[in-house]
Amino acid sequence: MMNGSRSSTGSPGSGGSLLEVRDLSVRFGARGRSGEVAAVRGVSFGIAPGEILGLIGESGSGKTTVARAVMGLVRSATGSVRFEGREMLGLSERALRKVRRRLHLVFQDPYDSLHPGMRVHEIVEEAMKIHGVGDRAGREAAVSAALKEVGLTPISHFTERYPHQLSGGQRQRVAVARAMVLDPALVLADEPTSMLDPSLRSGILQILKRHRDTHGTGYLFITHDLALARHLCDRVAVMFGGRLVELGPTEAVVANPLHPYTKMLLQAVEELAPPSPSGADYLTSDQAQESYATIASGLQEVAPGHYVASHEMNQPILDRPTTEKEE
Amino acid sequence: MSTLLEVRGLNTVYRTTEGQIRAVDGVDLSVGRGEILGVVGESGSGKTTLVTSLMRLIKPPGRILKGGEMLLDGEDLFRLPRSEMPARRGRDLALIPQSAMHALNPVIPVDKQVAEAITAHGKAGRKAALRTARERLVEVGIPPERHSAYPHELSGGMRQRCVIAMAIVNEPKLVIADEPVSGLDVVVQARILRLISDLKESRSLSMILVSHDLPTVTRICDRIAVMYAGRIIETGEARAVFEKPLHPYTKVLVEAIPQVRGPKQDLRSIPGDPPNLHRLPPGCNFEPRCPAAFADCKTVDPSLEEVESGRQVACLLYHDDERE
């Protein structure tokens, strides 16, 4: 209903001098043929330097595709992704490689993302070699500093090890060190803690936060966990069915969710939380996910910086107790 | 509530190139009829070995040490000949495994798979079994039009429902669920836990529910046992354990998980790594990572002791007599 807001000033894409994503769409499959999937539809948001933006959504919501498109890894992406003022979509592989020095990914699974045949110091050093950064001594110093920053100390205890000799938490620390070593302006972290045990998870989050505070790095933090986002992110963007349905300061979204899908997510999180004395109770209604699938993509600003996609406020609740949608 | 399951002195060891490790170390536990016992622990705590031991599915180089007991309805399943176990699995005690995708056969429609679980015990003919299977699928929330779907055609949540249907189809005395909701989206997690909670009410299901996420299982469990390095280090009424954790490790498990409501607190984390079972410290296993450790913790290995009614904890902080 407010399609125009995306291109006007004060749109969700503005304020992101580090990263500005406008009207990003990604389609997979043969164009126009059956089986074509619109994985991302008209997504706009921005990230300021030193800001942590949480991209929230469930499996299949398109959040990982957004991150891949920002990295320039999705050829079929349309719209605009400006990183430090430079358009990323349509860049040649060579030009992308240069840009990627300033932007790094941390993957979900530390068991898959580290080369099993490389030692820790080689893994962390590799990106510097690729980008021709520093001499041997300089690189060694940078590796040591990065390992120290992620708490893999004493460093000598870890540098010569292979990934299989490390625990899951230690592996993810290596992956974070690898992302930090080139001092990127933006880190894209795709559920970096979801495979870790709770007692180790918060350690990784603290490292990311401290790195942001000391280096002013911006983060796109992808997660399905609103509670986690609440503890880490300055703002959150909620995705559903390839669209952004709500975007705003984290506390505002959590305290006052506006879109029915955000409300449903929060209800689920509250249902999973242990009973509080005040007693947040079981979900009383099953909101059918399908009912939001056709909403328009325009975001409307309802409070300063708090945007919500247009939707029917009093949508009928479909009576389907088993509404997990087929993937 | 009468006792359904009583496990005493369970020890499971694995032989490795570095020597023998004790993955489950002298575990005692009990489950009452119609009760859900939550077993909570992180990687390496021994919870999956515990589950596998209770199902008697431990294979070499692992083995269950002699001397332990597993009384289900008064009968010691550890004394049964191994050849008797396949008939008992599914009927006496059923497993809901960790990964529903891997637990289901990819080339058989789900209703047929659930029916197979019935015919495998020779309890019914094929037609009757299929009818019962479909009734159970409806009961767990799979609409009839999805019954003949193949596993890959279903969402993660639906697959999990199918595995639950398979577990309850022979009306076992005890269901053991190993991380039934990990890896699922939060909305689906909430629904699956609600389904388990509903089944507990409607069928007075008795269950052991294994999880790494203490806050999430608090609501549906009656009691919780926390495992660390193969041992139960704290046990008590679920809500009491969550609201007033005693063991320093249990405190970390409670405070490490972010909550969406209430004051925004710094998340707890603990230094160090999960315990290495090859090199356990001489004193308390948690001592190297424990924020509350004192001198005695390095030398005294605390046993699990009752500190208040229904609450046991293995920590010197609460053991007056072991303290110097």
Using CB atoms, pick whichever of B153, B155, B242 lies closest to residue A324: B155
DSSP percent split of chain B into helix, strand, coil, nearest 5: 35, 25, 40
**How far apart (Å, rounded) are the C-alpha atoms in residues B198 and B210?**
18
Instruction: Give residues 57 to 86 of B whose Cβ lies within 8 Å of A.
Output: none
CA dihedral B39, B41, B44, B48 (to 10 degrees): 20
Q: Which of B187, B197, B255 to mutate to test the interface with A (most CBs of A within 10 A)?
A: B187
Q: How far is A287 from chain B (nearest CA, A)?
A: 10
**How far apart (Å, rounded) are the C-alpha atoms in residues B225 and B241?**
9
Instruction: Give residues 170 to 229 of B whose Cβ lies within 8 Å of A.
Output: 185-191, 193-194, 212-216, 218-219
Q: Name the pairing type of β-strands B69-72 and B75-76.
A: antiparallel
Q: What is the pLDDT of residue B216?
A: 87
Place of tokens 């007599």: B321
Give the closest residue to A16 by CA, choosing from A70, A60, A68: A70
Per-residue pLDDT tens digits for B215-228? 889 989 999 999 99
* B110 contacts: CB under 8 Å, gap ≥ 6: B104, B137, B142, B146, B147, B148, B149, B150, B151, B154, B162
In this complex, is the C-beta atom of B273 within 8 Å of any C-beta atom belonging to chain A? yes
Using CB atoms, pick whichever of A59, A226, A324 lies closest to residue B260: A226
* Cβ–Cβ < 8 Å for B169, B133: yes
Q: How far is B287 from chain A (nearest CA, A)?
A: 15
Tell me which H or E stretch contains A269: helix A260-272
Residue B287: is its pLDDT beyond 70?
Answer: yes
Q: How far, in whole angstroms, is CA B50 from its chain's centroid?
A: 8
Which residues of chain B lie closer than 8 angstroms to A271, CB-CB? Answer: 190, 193-194, 219
Which residues of chain A lie closer than 8 angstroms to B200, CB-CB? Answer: none
Using CB atoms, pick whichever of A197, A199, A230 lies closest to residue B264: A230
> Edge-to-edge strands of the sheet including A77-83?
A37-47, A19-28, A77-83, A86-87
Backbone angles phi, psi at B200, to 5 degrees: -60, -45
Q: Find out whether the peptide bond into B291 is cis, omega within 30 degrees of 0.
A: no
* A154 contacts: CB under 8 Å, gap ≥ 6: none
- For chain B, the average pLDDT equals 92
Low-confidence ranges of chain A (pLDDT < 50): 1-10, 277-297, 313-327
Using CB atoms, pick whichever of B42, B185, B269 lies closest to residue A206: B269
Per-residue pLDDT tens digits for B173-192? 999 999 998 878 888 899 99
Q: How far is B217 from chain A (nearest CA, A)?
A: 8
Tell me which H or E stretch contains B198: helix B186-203
Q: Which of B184, B269, B277 to mutate to test the interface with A (most CBs of A within 10 A)?
A: B269
* Interface confidence: ipTM more than 0.85: no
Task: Tell me, yes or no, if the pTM score tops 0.90.
Answer: no
CA dihedral A290, A294, A297, A298 (to 10 degrees): -110
Q: What is the pLDDT of residue A322?
A: 36
Using CB atoms, pick whichever of B153, B216, B256 lies closest to residue A201: B256
